[in-house]
Every structure is written in structure tokens, then in C-alpha cells.
Structure 1
């Protein structure tokens, strides 16, 4: 049988490859890496292609993919800015492997379940009595909060503080999902799809890798998708928590900026940097020669207009004109891009299509007008050399879009303003459709709402920069409240609008806010400071900014400053519920329980009969040691809402302290049945199980807690106690050692380790630990008493649990 004829796509690809010039050094480095086994110290697992817009990163990535496939038999997948989340990136990888004959059956099945369950969750009515965000909005919000450690019972705060002040929104979401889905795994899948789906994908990749020499995963336009994918990819490379990647995997990242040294610095030895510069003169001339352009005046003009940027050299090479019109001093890059297009409708459409930041057919129609958006016009636009994107979306290359915007803004400022106003109105309509009655503060947590909102502000700022800026700044308060990722997108929108509208005021605000939001841990603290100092906010806006800054300061333990923010907000708006509750949360945290209850009284007056307020009262009494009063408050809350797992956990803890371990266990069992990821309750149940002699059950609980929140000192301290009370002193000391390595100032763990040392007859080491514990915390009465006991009783005594 004769060899099959190549497909049309293969022939097109061959022509593209034949036209590829330059980048020999980068191609050679990529090829050489396949000659080194993964175990070889010189082998690189990551290639990072980076350079400013127009230098040909995407062009090189496509060539590298062809090299990997055709020359080295690799399975490949390419991800770019068309994905909006980590699950979408995983889905794109699976789909592309499927086209190469490798089906990810188990992953695809679970992905389909996720999509269905998420759709059901977003469509579900809110079961809570108290008005608030819909289930759909909370589904979107929860993932971002979990990453910051702000979801009760998980993340960075787990085991360190009681989660009640942060619980309400996520608790309502989990309760809503638990009531809708019978399978806890489906609830967890919706709440944390990355954790649920990634191990399946990694397993499928490993099976595929066993049958081929290499797997190569490409991530293009990394300056856009890095914020989404960077933590995920870094975790895959540095930890086996989400699965073990096959050793014959190579990643290629391509973007405008360098990788974050704080995250990638530790991987410098396995990352090969491939910085790209514009073509050399020789490389650009080589490309023009390949296109049949050899007339020197034409070559010089193309080099001048393109700056030797590969995307512009390629675009201008398609129709470079003749030497007869190269001397025209008014020729511009934009005229060159469209010079070969004689149809005025198409020329106008290409210019109008540059106005939106991103395009699909609906946005394109809004940009050019329904009458002008004839059949096939969007398809024609997408085929232009400077328009990229896949699967229905498109984006102009930055180096082409910028001069197109400049031309329209300077040629007719009135038409410029009208066009952007029309686009702003279009996005506003789509936003209102997506809102479904959402409070704007909750809408920022939903991509279907926040995406159109950002585009609306972009176009308003382009149309009338000075007039739109105050509203955009005011809206940013709610954007910052929604989390760092949303806040950064808002700030970037201002910066881009300022650049494209050539507004110094808007541009400066955008850049200042981007700088203020750089430290993700501090969230919107500095951004709110900028707005309060310079934005000219009205009274309601100032109150809102103080509330948001107060809660963000609370998250980084700046308690005095947070309290001052809440008090200032109350002065501006005495009926602000979040401000009063913020005061209660800070007072409770600092031990001023009377003031906390007074603040909750004011919340209760503003929201009479709200069960969540009574729960907070009960939790405050628990923290104050007023256990019977706390029970009297929590019992009616649980009776009114049996699915309130936070209230159940709090009541369980109280019963344990009161010496009623069986009743405590029942409450904690119910809380964990409602929320299997409730880390705080898992740790408390482990303590109860240990007291009841169920060492294995206690360790199981702590294993699960560590899976949810690794390297938490409090959890490791509890593990030490479980082993110690079971007589496993060496295992106990190992756990305390790990806790103290994470937190050398952890006095409680020092006191506990002292008791384990005493159990092994190491009296000197026990006394040294107790001395250090008292030095760290002179008011630590239990440690003082144990030290006195050991000093006065050489034979030792009781091994009490520290308090």
C-alpha cells in the first residue's frame, strides 16, 4: 500500500514551517534537551520563553510543538488565554491528547460530573432565610477564599484560630450544596475542583507517558494565564500532593514577563530561560527573502515600520507595497496593516474590532454595529495575521492594536467616545442579565458578572476618562472586597484604559493601584488607603472602604488598626452591619468579650431575629468561658438550622470542656458529616476521641486535617498529644518537633514535649522545655506548675494536658 497523502492541514503546516526563520539558538536548546535523560543533571523540565509583545513567542511555541511531535514522538498539548480556570486548562489538555489517540476516560467522566454539578449548584435557589448571595455566587467565591486561608476550617488559618468570624458565606454554600447533593464527593468537587480533578489528570498523564518518549505541555500567553495557573503548576512540580508527574514531562511557558522569583527561584536549576529579542537585521531580511521581497527600498521600509518585531515583519511582508509609494511620509503602521484591503467596510470593521480588549462574535457585532456585521465578516477578521485566539474568541496583537487605537482616538475624538460608550452600554446589559438580582458586592465574585463589569468600566474610561474615573474607583472597593485576583483585574483595567485613552490621570491611578495590590497577603489594605486619601469618595464610599480595609487588616492580625477602621465606618454609617460585626470579631479575638457582646447587640438591633447573630453570641460566650450561657444560645440556633455545622462544632467543643465527651462527639460527628473538610472540628474531634481512648480514630482525624491544611503547628501539636496520652512518647516528640520547627514560639508544644520527655525519663530536657515555654509566655500557669512539680518531685508525677 502506498503512503497516505498528507492532509490539507499538514500541507499548510509544512509551508508555515518552511517560512519559519531565526530562533536557531532557542530551537537547538530545546532539541538538545531531548537528548538528555530526565535523571541527567543538565536536563531541564521547564522552558520559559519570554519577551515583549511582538517578538514571536507564539510563533516559536508552535514551532517547538512541531519539533516535539514530529522529531521526538512526543504527545503535546497547548493552553493559552482562552482558558479561564485551572479546570478549563485541564480540560484543554485532555481534549488535545484525545485528538492524538490518548483518551483520559476517568478524568473526562469526572470533569463532566463537575460541570453538571456546578451548573446545578449555580442554578439552585438560596436555601438560607437571610438575604444574601446566591448559591451560584458563593460557588465562584469559595475557591478564591480557600486559597487565601479564609474559608472556615481550611487554608492558612486552620488550627490557628477559631473559624467562626469568617464562616457565614461559605457555611451557607456548603449547607446549600450538601442539601442538594447526597454524595459528599460531589460537594467537594464543586467546592475545590482543582484538588479533586488534578490527581485524576496526573494519573492519566502517567499512563500516557508510559507509551511515548515524552509529554510536552505548552502554556502560551503566560502573562495572562499565569495568575491562574502559576500556583497549580508550581505545586505539580514541587509536591506530590496532587499526584506524581511522569519524569518524561516537559513544560514550556511563554509570556511577556519573567517568572515570579519568589515562587520559581527554587526551581532555577530545572528551568531553561529563553529570552526573545526582536529579529536581527539578518533574520528579518531572511524572512522577507522567503516571502519574495528583495527590493531594497521596500525591505528598508518594512524594517523601519516593523522595528524588526516578527509579528509586524510577517504582517507587512504579506503586502509590502512597491517602491513607488514608500516615500510617503504619512505612511503609518496602521495604514500598512490595512493597505492591501480595498473594501472600506472591512477596513472600518478591522479598526472597530480593535476597540474591545477581547472579541467574540457578539462583541464584534456591538463594536461594528449590526448593519455592518455582515455574514462572514468576523471570520474574515479572525483570519488576519495580527488577530489571534481560538474557539470563537479573538484578540488583536498588542503591537497592532495600540496604533489602531491611537489612530481612531486622534482622528475623531467624538466617534471614539461614541463607539466606546456604545460598547459600555452593551456590556452593562450583559452584566445586568447575569446579575439576576445580585448585590453588586456579591456580583464581583462571579465571572459572569465581573467580566462584563470590567469591560464596561474599560470602555467608559476610554470614552470619558475624567467623568468615569470616580465611579470606577468607588466600584473598586467592592472589587477589592471580592479578593486579590478580582482586585488586580480591576486595577489592570484602569491601567489599560488610561494607556489606551492616553489619560495621565487614569493611567496613574491604575499603576498606583497595581502597586498597592502587589502583596496578595495584604489584599486591599494599601489600595483602600489610596482611595480614602485621594479618591474624593462620598460618605457611603468612605464607610465602605473603611469596612473592607478593616476586614483585610483583621486577616493579617492588625487588630487595633482594624478596629479603628470599623469605628470610623460606624461614625460615617451607624447602620453598617459589617462594621458592627467587625468590631465584635476584633473584641472577641482580643479577649474583650463584653465589648464583643455589645457590638453584637447593635447587629441584632439592625437584623432582628437573625440566627447567625445568635450563633455569634454563643461563640463569644464560649470563647469567654461562659459555657452554660453559650449552650443556651447555640441550642436554639441548631434547632432552627440543623445544618449549621459551625454551631454544632462550637457546641461540641463546649461539651468536651464540660466533661461530656460522648455528647461532644455526637455534635462533632454531625458537624463533620455536614462538612467533611471542617478542619477545626476534625482537630477538636481528635482530642475528644483521644480522651475516650480511640487513638486510631483520633489519628485518622488528624491525618485528614493535615491533608486539608498541611504544616499547621496546631494540628501537629494535637498529634503529639494523641501519641503522648497513648504512651507513644517518641512519636509524640517527633510531632512536637515538627510543630516547633514551623513555629519556634509555640509555648504550648514546648510544654507538651516536656511531658513526653518526662515520660521517657529525660528530666533535664523536660525542665529545659518548660523553662523555655515560661520564658516565651510568663503567664503560662500550667507550665509554671509543671516545672515546680518536677523541681520538687524528682520521681515525676502526672502527665497533664497543657492548657
Structure 2
């Protein structure tokens, strides 16, 4: 590897001299730059130049870290920096600890949010539960600027879920910073990074961060990097920090334009003739006819020049277009047929390590180790996050070659890889809660590898499974969703199905313009299931989809799906013998249960924005697709109940309990609905059924207590509430209800204890303060009563019952 790096130093001398000269200037010198942005099209040598920059920086004694697209978030970037700095003898111990804590806390918070805030009264995660969990965390004021989720639950459920979540987070997390570490990790991790880098500045002369494949990482890194380098939001960085970014596009002028004095843009173009000749000469290729032919065929692209130079051509007849049959020509002088086949097989996966290579090359571990060591020396095998990836300029023709030469071998190779990735994924899942897997980068990577190779092997269910996964990935947020969309783009391109690649591209555009909700909207629109209740994106009228597809096709030169419900690719593509992909309808790739799932997710999104009507409409669309889905019926029934449409709610819930008599959720919601309809006997029957199924069902026990109150059964009311607080001792709602029951039984002193417990669990619980104020008033504690009622009105100024009770206390004090 050292030989390859040194060989590249001949080229790009101007850029290298500019970068190296930066180390000869003082940070106070006006010529010093803290940011270099390398940009240019594929094949111009961006990654190689960045690697050369890293080599030059280390020659100057710099501490360096190289990060590429394998890091999918700011915490992942910081984790890579910690790992690489540590390998060079400089550990960022505080940052390492916080990054590890972030991974732990994120899982704990989302698991707690699911348990506390899911609209299903039995706590079972529903479709879109993770999205709701995040909305619930926002509703607690833990995510600034995000609307609360109060429409999802009625006030009692909201209080119940909110205080449960607060108590769970308080029990699990040491302080509020731990919550911020989950919800806004950049704000916690980055100041620690700045402090650690400041401390390192006394030990090393320079600190260099190199961020490659920035066209993919920039969407989540660029704003963060701008704040880190140009503001004091995260603290001051030492002046000896230099950052290099490399991507296909120039820096955003709106963000970076005012900092031209501190950054250098390095646009890369194909090598000039002089540079190309220098690279060839450094590799021993100097014969003029050979050089002329190499220049003609490569157009000066460094990757292709390196490929030709590596073949040591003796004459111009030995120089053929490397973009057409790159590996075949490169291996022309390789005598070992096993190596030639292994190099070709190594193109099948998107990323290579020894384990993946052994499966791709279909060889044993010892042979794989030997061949992999050799593949590492190939000029088009770029090192990426500790693994290898063939450069796209070379990998694409390699894939075309294998598909055309041996379609059966192509399918066998991808099938073998898909099975291996599935096996590794299942091993990762063993003994784990399925809810944790989406937070595990290793699991996601294995699942993506499995799906990618299934698509490439012509598995007819692969894209359907990919889209089903994508819906789930949207629940996890943009960072996870983009990985599934990117894989769909890659697979469509690599198996030469432009329509599929076009789908991925349009989904990527939707994600960039409107987030995961826009992705779900786009999927529904393509399948002909657009919802009139939902807000539409610009140009999303009757011809909007076609305009978007045409615009995307022009921009990417990649045909998009022909219609909203169309074939995977056009008739011309279908007739082409180059494509082994079967004709599959979009509707087959998105079966009714998947479309229904998307509608349920949209329902949760609307409910989180307090749009109950739209949420109910979306669930109606879901039920058209899956009319006998008991959980969807139960969820719509619960939303109808919280909207005050109790008769309609009861109809849905009755049907849900008929379809699934073992669903405690539906029975509990039906009991609450019957109570709202003034049918306490029926409510008692439904709630008793829920409690038969789930005896420690705290939500149902509180509702059962309310039924007992309506039936004039104070003993039954208290008994139910005693069970509720025993089942869920951290529920402020249950303790407050129990305080009300004790107060109704003239046990005011005991009720104070219950209210004390409620406000201790939830200091923002207005109802608990008001009720405790009334209990104090009954006991003659007028000052305490007034203080509690004032606090209740401070928390909820429109709380009429509390204001009436306060007026009574004031009159008694005056009297």
C-alpha cells in the first residue's frame, strides 16, 4: 500500500503543493486555510488526492482521521475520529465515553418512549411507533421547536404516558444532558470534541480531518461542520485544525461564500497531458505510441490511466479502453486464473472485507486471505473505512461484463452473497429484541447487503421486501431511510434496470425536500393511493408525478417509471437481452398490507400535528386495503374516541374485538368508549375482559375505577386504583386518580400522600396540584391550598375548575 501511495504523489502536484504549503504558514498568516474542498466528477481522483493529503499531513507530524460514507451520522463520524486518533496514540477519552453512552441512551430513550407513549393502551408498539416515540419526546419539551404530540392521546392518556416517560427517563438517565445526548447528540458531543482537540494541540503540530465522499455525507455534515469551523457554538477550535472535504459538487456558496478567505476550493478535472504523461512515466510507460493511445482512450481520468499503467503495455495494440473491459485487460498479464476470477468476483459486493470476499470468490478462508491481500494492491480498489470498494469507473464495466458473459454465474454469485448476508444477519439477531435492531449499524448493513444481492439475483420478492423495510426505516428517521433509498438506487443501476434506479433517485429527492413523510407520500402516489386528506408536495397535482419523473430523468439521464402503476422498466428495456430482471408490477412490489402500513404511519403523523380528522381518514384508507385488520380498527376506534365521535368509535372497537378477542387494547378502548356513551355496565364488561387478558394493565385499571365511580362503588374504585399504582408505581396519573378516590371517601389526609407522589413524579401536573389544593382546603390548610391552586393555574391558565376552587379558598380566607 505504501508503494501505491507514493506512486500517486507524481500527479496533482499543484494541489499537493498548495496543501503542503499550508503547513509552512502560521495560523495567523493570512495565507493559512482551515478548509480545503476537493470536488469533481467520478474518476478524477478525489479519493486518491485526499489519501495523498493524509500522507503529506502525517509527514508534517499531523494527527489525522479519514472518514467516508460508511459513517452515516455526526456521532458515527466522531466515533471514527476517536478510533483513528487512538490508533495513532492519542485517545479522545471523554469523547469516546460520550459516544458510547449516546448509543446506549438512544436505545433506552426510544424503548422507554415506545412503552410510555404508544397509543395502544396495552403498550404494544404499533405501526409507526418509533416515530410516535420521538414525537412524544418532543411533546415533553425535550426537542426544541418540534410540535407536541398531544392529539395522539386523550388528556388522561397523555398525562399517563408523559409522566411514565419522565419517570423512566429520570430513573435511567442521570441528568438532562443524557436526554440531550439522545435527542440532539451534536450539541453534547461537539463541545467535547472541541475541548479534546484543544488539549491535543499542545501535543501535535497539526490536526487534520479528511471527509471523503462528501456528496453523500454532506447533507448531514455540512451545517454541523460550518458551525464547528466558523462559529463559537461548540467552543473555539485550535487554529491548527485543518479540514479537507471531497465530493462531486462545489461547496454551497450560500453557506460558505463569506468564508472564502479561510478556505480553498480545489476543483479536479481530468489530468492534463503533462500530468498524464508524468503518471505513466512514473509507472514505466514511456513509449510514445503507447502513451498516445493511453491518452486517447482514458481522456485523462486518473483511475483509468492507473489501470492501463498497471498492465505494463508493450505496444499500442496492448492498450484497450479500460472503461469497456477494465479488469479483463488489466489482468491480461496475470497468469493465475484464480486471481483473475477472484478480481472479477470482488466487484459483485458494494463493499469488501475478507469474509465477503471469500463468499464472492467462492473459496476457503486461507485462499481468500491470500487473494484479498493481492486485491488490495489493485489501483481501482479504494480503501473505505477499513474495507475495500472498487472504483465505480471500473466496477460498472466489470458488472456489465459478468452479467453479459454468464447470466447464470451472475445469479449464482449474488444468490450466494445474499444467503451469506442473511446468515450473518440472523446470527446478529439471535437472542435480541427486534426493536433494537434498527439502531444497530451492523444489522442495518447486513440487511442492506442481503437485499441488494437479492435484487441483483432476480429474487422476485426482493424489492417488495426493500420497500417494506423502507417504510420501517422511515420510522427511524432520515439517516436510516437514506441508506435503504441509496441501496435501491445502487441495485437498479448495477443490474441495469434504470426504472428501479429512478425510483431510488426520486425517493432520494423526496427525502431531501420533505423528509420521511414525503417518501411515504411518494410511495402512495406511485401506487395510486394518494390521500386527499394530506398536504401535497409542490407539483403533486394530477400531472405532478409525471413532471417530477421527467425532471428527475433529465437530471440523471435515467428513465423513471413510466406511470404511477407501471412496469419496472420500459418495453424497450424489457426486450433488451442485457437485462435479466423480470417484469414486476409496482403494485406487486407494494402489496396492500404494505400500503396500509404507510397509511397508518401517516395517521400517526397527522395525529401528532393535532389533525384527528386526517388521522382517521388515513386509517380509513388503510382499512380499505386490509378491511379485517383488527389493530387498525382498534387504532381508528381509539382516535375516534379521543375526537369525541364515540358512536363511530364503538362500532370500530366492537368489530376489532370480534376479529381479535384476545386484544386487550381493543377491549380497554371499548370500555372507555362505552363509559363516554353513558353505558357503565357495558364499560365494566369490556374493561373486565381487558383485565382478564392482562391483569396488570394499569391504564385499564384506572378506567375501571372510573366505571366503579359511575356505578356508585367506592370500594371497587379504590381497589382498582390500588391495583393500578401497584402495577405502575411511577404513574402520576394513577396516583392522582387514587388521591381523588380517597378524597371522595373523606380520607383527605391520605389523599395528600397520593397527590404528593403524583407531583413528585410529574412537577408539571396541573390537575394534581389543583386536587391537592382542594384536599388542603378541606383540611383547613388555606395557605397551602392557595399555593397549590395558584400553581395549577400557572401551569394551565384556562383551568376553570381550579379557578373556581381558588375563588372559594380566597373567600374563606377573607371571611
Shorter-chain TM-score above 0.5: yes
**Cα distance between partner residues in 1 of 2:141 and 2:640:** 21
User: What corresponds to 2:45 in structure 1?
Assistant: 56
SS at match of 2:245: strand
User: What corresponds to 2:317 in structure 1?
Assistant: 325
User: What corresponds to 2:617 in structure 1?
Assistant: 564
Work out which of the residue numbers 411, 415, 430 in structure 1 matches 2:405: 411
User: What corresponds to 2:93 in structure 1?
Assistant: 105
Distance 1:584 1:83, change over 3 A: same
User: What corresponds to 1:529 in structure 2?
Assistant: 524
Distance 1:575 1:187, change over 3 A: farther
Alignment of 1:97-246 (within 5 A): 97-98=85-86, 100=88, 102-110=90-98, 146=134, 153-155=141-143, 160-162=148-150, 165=153, 196-210=188-202, 214-226=206-218, 229-230=221-222, 232-237=224-229, 242-246=234-238
User: What corresponds to 2:339 in structure 1?
Assistant: 346
User: What corresponds to 1:583 in structure 2?
Assistant: 636
**Cα distance between partner residues in 2 of 1:324 and 1:486:** 49
Work out which of the residue numbers 12, 16, 32 in structure 2 matches 1:22: 12
User: What corresponds to 1:777 in structure 2?
Assistant: none
**Cα distance between partner residues in 2 of 1:265 and 1:604:** 62
After superposing the two structures, state which structure 1 stretch, 309-318 or 555-564, moved more: 555-564
Distance 1:652 1:236, change over 3 A: farther
User: What corresponds to 1:625 in structure 2?
Assistant: none
User: What corresponds to 2:725 in structure 1?
Assistant: 639
Distance 1:181 1:22, change over 3 A: closer
Q: CA deviation at 1:586?
A: 5.5
1:480 and 2:474 correspond: yes
1:489 and 2:483 correspond: yes
Distance 1:119 1:487, change over 3 A: closer
Q: Assess if the C-alpha contact under 8 Å between 2:63 and 2:204 holds in 1.
A: yes
User: What corresponds to 1:792 in structure 2?
Assistant: none
SS at match of 1:216: strand
Taking structure 1 as the reference length, the TM-score comes to 0.68
**Cα distance between partner residues in 2 of 1:635 and 1:38:** 70
Q: Assess if the C-alpha contact under 8 Å between 1:87 and 1:193 holds in 2.
A: yes
1:383 and 2:377 correspond: yes
SS at match of 1:355: coil
Q: Assess if the C-alpha contact under 8 Å between 1:648 and 1:668 holds in 2.
A: no
User: What corresponds to 1:669 in structure 2?
Assistant: 760
User: What corresponds to 1:508 in structure 2?
Assistant: 502
Q: Assess if the C-alpha contact under 8 Å between 2:411 and 2:456 holds in 1.
A: yes
SS at match of 2:358: helix
After superposing the two structures, state which structure 1 stretch, 338-347 or 387-396, moved more: 387-396
Distance 1:608 1:671, change over 3 A: farther
**Cα distance between partner residues in 2 of 1:372 and 1:101:** 32
**Cα distance between partner residues in 1 of 2:670 and 2:173:** 28
1:286 and 2:339 correspond: no
SS at match of 1:332: helix
Distance 1:309 1:576, change over 3 A: same
**Cα distance between partner residues in 1 of 2:192 and 2:39:** 31
Distance 1:122 1:551, change over 3 A: closer
SS at match of 1:384: coil
User: What corresponds to 1:80 in structure 2?
Assistant: 68
Q: CA deviation at 1:355?
A: 0.3
Residues 162-207 of structure 1: CA deviation (Å, up to 9, x unaligned)? 3865999999999888777889877876777655544333221122
Q: Assess if the C-alpha contact under 8 Å between 1:440 and 1:478 holds in 2.
A: no
Distance 1:114 1:583, change over 3 A: closer
> Aligned Cα RMSD in Å?
5.6
**Cα distance between partner residues in 2 of 1:147 and 1:173:** 12
Structure 1: runs of 5 or more not aligned: 1-8, 623-627, 673-680, 692-720, 727-747, 753-779, 783-797, 799-803
Work out which of the residue numbers 450, 462, 479 in structure 2 matches 1:456: 450
1:301 and 2:293 correspond: yes
After superposing the two structures, state which structure 1 stretch, 391-400 or 222-231, moved more: 222-231
Q: Assess if the C-alpha contact under 8 Å between 1:481 and 1:524 holds in 2.
A: no
1:46 and 2:41 correspond: no
Residues 309-331 of structure 1: CA deviation (Å, up to 9, x unaligned)? 21222232233311163377998
Structure 2: runs of 5 or more not aligned: 529-564, 566-585, 677-701, 708-719, 775-789, 801-809, 811-815
After superposing the two structures, state which structure 1 stretch, 391-400 or 517-526, moved more: 517-526
User: What corresponds to 2:79 in structure 1?
Assistant: 91
SS at match of 1:376: helix
User: What corresponds to 1:274 in structure 2?
Assistant: 266
Q: Assess if the C-alpha contact under 8 Å between 1:457 and 1:472 holds in 2.
A: yes
User: What corresponds to 2:352 in structure 1?
Assistant: 359
Distance 1:26 1:213, change over 3 A: same
Taking structure 2 as the reference length, the TM-score comes to 0.67
Distance 1:235 1:522, change over 3 A: farther
How many residue pairs align between the two structures? 675
Residues 551-575 of structure 1: CA deviation (Å, up to 9, x unaligned)? 3444566654443221121233345
Distance 1:214 1:636, change over 3 A: farther
User: What corresponds to 2:712 in structure 1?
Assistant: none
SS at match of 1:370: coil
Q: CA deviation at 1:120?
A: 10
1:548 and 2:632 correspond: no
**Cα distance between partner residues in 1 of 2:29 and 2:735:** 49
Distance 1:617 1:64, change over 3 A: farther
**Cα distance between partner residues in 2 of 1:121 and 1:611:** 23
Residues 378-429 of structure 1: CA deviation (Å, up to 9, x unaligned)? 2222232221226652211111111110110111112112211221222222
**Cα distance between partner residues in 1 of 2:33 and 2:435:** 45
**Cα distance between partner residues in 2 of 1:51 and 1:477:** 34
Q: CA deviation at 1:351?
A: 0.4
After superposing the two structures, state which structure 1 stretch, 359-368 or 299-308, moved more: 299-308
Q: Assess if the C-alpha contact under 8 Å between 1:596 and 1:620 holds in 2.
A: no
Work out which of the residue numbers 580, 587, 592 in structure 2 matches 1:539: 592
